[in-house]
Structure 1
Amino acid sequence: MARSQYDTIIIGLGAAGVTAAATLGKAGKQVLGLEAEGRIGGRVNTVPFGDGVVELGAEWIHGEHPSLVYDTAVQNNIQLAFQDLAFNIFRSDGQVPNEEFQLLCNEVIAQGFIFMANPPEESIPAGQFVTAKLMQYFKDNNPKILEDQDLVEQLLEFLNLLTNNYCACNDWNDLDARDKFTHLDGHQHISWYKQGYKTFFDIMLNTYRDGPGLSNLNVKLNTEVTQIAWPEDPNGTVKVITKDGAVYTADSVIITVSVGVLKESYKTLFTPKLPAKKIAAIENLAIGVMDKIVLSFETAWWPKNATFFGFLWQGEDRRRIGREDYWITRIFGASSPMGSDNVLTLWTSGETAKMVELLPEDLVRRKCMQLLQMFMGGKTIIPEPTGFIRSTWHSNPYTRGSYSYDSIHVASLPWLRSELAAPLTDRSGKPRVLFAGEATDETHFSTVHGACDTGYRESMRLLPASKM
């Protein structure tokens, strides 16, 4: 479909963009999808690795109902795998904790999540809130644990790092305990198993199992948008200019790039310039980093039932780590992904993740191997890895972060997400520039299903009521 005039141009083909493109294309609209990267998926990135595939971005479907993502998988008979978030706890002295200790740690982790799911009425840093609740919980249910202050600190720090990875923040006290995030009903950790998350995009774009695609959709990869000129005149059109000098026009445009990219580009991207309140939303919304370091081995050397590893750093061991290696103490654990049988994923987040993205590959690999050996102990012989790969969500100029979160620093600005989602209209009130993406969802931000919902929301804004 070679043309320069479209009904709608969609910028960014991640979950929100693909959902919008599929919805409008199936409704008969002529759609152009512009993607700066050389692949479709955005912050979902399934990569062949080990003896299968791994997810460098979104790992799971979080919840079942109501979820376009889950429904799409089920309706197409995709084999899914349900994972339980139970941790095999390891300690920095290499001693294998007994079953009683494992149960204690998992009880504390579960209790921490319960407190997070029942926030206070007032704004307070999440770390302060959960710490106070846990200390009271210990006094009421297990006062003996308070005699080992180092263990208490280990457990709190583990929960801090785990929260950082869930929310992409740097510290759980950066997070508002009263954040608006809401879980869907159903299981929270559903893997796409061997087919990978990319299957969702194949289904949405009708390319799954060699499907012919969508006839009304034209996709251009490796195409970075540098300017969006939108009309205030109801008779005008939206003009989109790309880095290679191409110009495309349309009745409307849907922007689905991350808020991290908007922070970096909004001053030069839009003509005329954005309204002050839209700028405030872009500048104040928080987006953080969650990164993965992935190692493959000839064969799996870890126990088959060990899906998640949790690392507890004893205070003395943490203090012995040199300043230049501090980042390894911010790796909270590892997991065995469902898409590959001989792979381990190590997780890190926040400012540490940004730094690790820039460290030499051989250094990161070597230090991660030392970390694993330290926690597994001398009785476990860890073979050399056969492969190494890592995510770089912050240094990637087309993402500049992993996902957004409700920061304690903007608790007094509850309108940020709704303002980011508000379309730019011409003088007649017709929407010309629309905004989608996980950061524009009030309650399901940071998730693929939330991003999909916003893509559908904005596409339906452009369709007549009879199409709804």
Structure 2
Amino acid sequence: MAAYDTIVVGLGAAGATAAGTLARGGRRVLALEAAARAGGRVRTERCGDGVVELGAEWIQGTHPSRVYDLAVQNNISVGTQNLDYDVFRSDGTQKDLELIDELMKFYYDVVAQKSDKNESVGAFVTKKFKKYLAEKHPDLFRDEEFVENFLEYMNIIENNTVASHDWDDITAKGDFECIDGDQFASWHRHGYKTFFEILLNTYNNGPGLPTLDIKFNTEVTSISWPRVGTGDVVVTCRGGEQYTAPNVIVTVSLGVLKDRHTTLFSPPLPEEKIEAINMISMGLLDKIVLSFDKPWWSRNMAFYWTVEDKKKLPEEDKWLGKIVQASTPLGSNNTITLWTYGEVAKLVETLPEEVVKTKVVELLQRFMGANVTVPQPTGMLRSTWYSNPYTRGSVSYNNLQMPQHPHIRETLGSPLLDAAGTPRVLFAGEATERTRYGTVHGASDTGYRAADMLLKSSNI
């Protein structure tokens, strides 16, 4: 067997960054990836007349960002996605569209703020929203049904942003930090996959990295590491293959850790790390992408369900009432992306493809009204991040417990040391990043952090 300095488990943003950094530093690295591709929860697919993203969509900020920097360094143009939207009502009318647009702009302003106490985003926004209505639209403030319906609408928008299950589960006292620059920069027709091609030196038919071996379709089932002594870490795979190295960097998702940490590690993880795995929430955000012969829309769409129309939905179609957004990706001119989250996304993952396609087209036709005919799609793609055993969700978010445990993400990301104080099992991934969790650049930073720790160590 080849002698490796480090084994990297998972080739998402953290794993690919760690593997590439170590290999460029002269270390011999083995990367084990359960899927058939690099990227993890970034997944670029051909669709329509270009490419679409089934996972991470945007470069969320430009400075400091190794994602953006690598694009610039490789002379790759980065586009800016315009997220202005047209509002449509479920009854096909144009009633109150300016009002809905006004209230949504108010929501976006409020949700960007942070509370000085540990309350849910739902409670924080509701309080400010009702005050705004009482001052600006007193008649609406007295319309309890309207207020309740619009609060639910904002709840769905928030979950589509954070990948949460409900805005009452998210703390408004979070420590998430946006980095400077465009929050909706896009790889457009290059696709987010280009980031991984650059990291692994395969961009523009590059030869890869000479000291990096990559094995796809190789699921890791156990990681055994020595607390005492000088033995190697032993990594066992589903097919029975075993690989050894002085250390391993584990970059699997929080969802996978929640599912499998009890069987994945030997000896078992320490209690404080198990507590971190259990405490941090793993969210779910899925996409339904439809392609058409040609675009029949003008820009992004926001769907406002009236109270009456939601009540009329048959029980088996209630999930449609939770779809309130369709965006137009920069990588393809003739596709649109509809967003689902939480329990609704879990349900949609289980529905037959033809059912999803038919119902979503009916939804679009409902909102477009009688003056627009929605044609039949030429194709459909959808993500399945929850049912995928190698992800078990999309990204982590900060729930109401987190402010009382401000260092819990660092605990999740802390390495396991042997008796001599040498790092044997290191952890990386977006869930281990304290302030930039849920982002590709945050995940990449944690991969670099782990690699840098090993490069600076004299014990490897």
User: Shorter-chain TM-score: which interval?
Assistant: over 0.9
Matches within 5 A, 1:14-93: 14-93=12-91
Matches within 5 A, 1:278-427: 278-303=273-298, 306=299, 308-427=300-419
Is 1:7 the counterpart of 2:5? The answer is yes
Question: Please, which of 224, 229, 233 is the counterpart of residue 229 of structure 1?
Answer: 224
Paired positions, count: 458
Shift of 1:87: 2.0
Whole-angstrom distance in 1 between the partners of 2:359 and 2:401: 34
- Which residue of 2 is the match for residue 244 of structure 1? 239
Is 1:269 the counterpart of 2:261? The answer is no
Matches within 5 A, 1:169-188: 169-188=164-183
Whole-angstrom distance in 1 between the partners of 2:251 and 2:53: 21
Letter in 1 for 2:75: N
1:66-97 deviations in Å (ceiling 9; x for gaps):
11101111221212211233221110110135
- Which residue of 2 is the match for residue 112 of structure 1? 107
- Which residue of 2 is the match for residue 157 of structure 1? 152
Greater shift, 228-237 or 352-361, is seen at 228-237
3-state SS of the aligned residue for 2:107?
helix
Letter in 1 for 2:242: V
Letter in 2 for 1:167: V
1:155-174 deviations in Å (ceiling 9; x for gaps):
32222111101111111111
1:122-146 deviations in Å (ceiling 9; x for gaps):
1111111111112212333444543
The alpha-carbon distance between structure 1 residues 158 and 87, as it changes in their structure 2 partners (threshold 3 A), is farther
- Which residue of 1 is the match for residue 121 of structure 2? 126
Whole-angstrom distance in 1 between the partners of 2:401 and 2:91: 37
Shift of 1:234: 4.1
Letter in 1 for 2:342: G
Is 1:255 the counterpart of 2:250? The answer is yes
Letter in 1 for 2:185: I
3-state SS of the aligned residue for 2:190?
coil
Is there any run of 5+ residues in structure 2 with no aligned partner, and where? Answer: none
- Which residue of 2 is the match for residue 197 of structure 1? 192
Shift of 1:397: 0.2
Shift of 1:151: 4.2
Is there any run of 5+ residues in structure 1 with no aligned partner, and where? Answer: none
Letter in 1 for 2:322: R
Cα RMSD, aligned residues only = 1.6
Whole-angstrom distance in 1 between the partners of 2:31 and 2:251: 11
Letter in 1 for 2:227: E
Greater shift, 410-419 or 159-168, is seen at 410-419
1:413-451 deviations in Å (ceiling 9; x for gaps):
333211100100000111100000000000110110110
- Which residue of 1 is the match for residue 134 of structure 2? 139
TM-score between the two structures when normalised by the length of structure 2: 0.96
3-state SS of the aligned residue for 1:61?
coil
Letter in 2 for 1:34: L
Whole-angstrom distance in 2 between the partners of 1:447 and 1:356: 24
Shift of 1:212: 1.1
Letter in 1 for 2:188: Y
3-state SS of the aligned residue for 1:282?
helix
Whole-angstrom distance in 2 between the partners of 1:391 and 1:34: 23
Shift of 1:108: 2.6
Whole-angstrom distance in 2 between the partners of 1:259 and 1:191: 26
TM-score between the two structures when normalised by the length of structure 1: 0.95
Q: Contact (CA 8 Å) 2:59, 2:440: kept in 1 or not?
A: yes
Q: Contact (CA 8 Å) 2:290, 2:335: kept in 1 or not?
A: yes
Letter in 1 for 2:290: L
Letter in 2 for 1:464: K
- Which residue of 2 is the match for residue 96 of structure 1? 94
Shift of 1:103: 4.6
Whole-angstrom distance in 2 between the partners of 1:102 and 1:336: 20
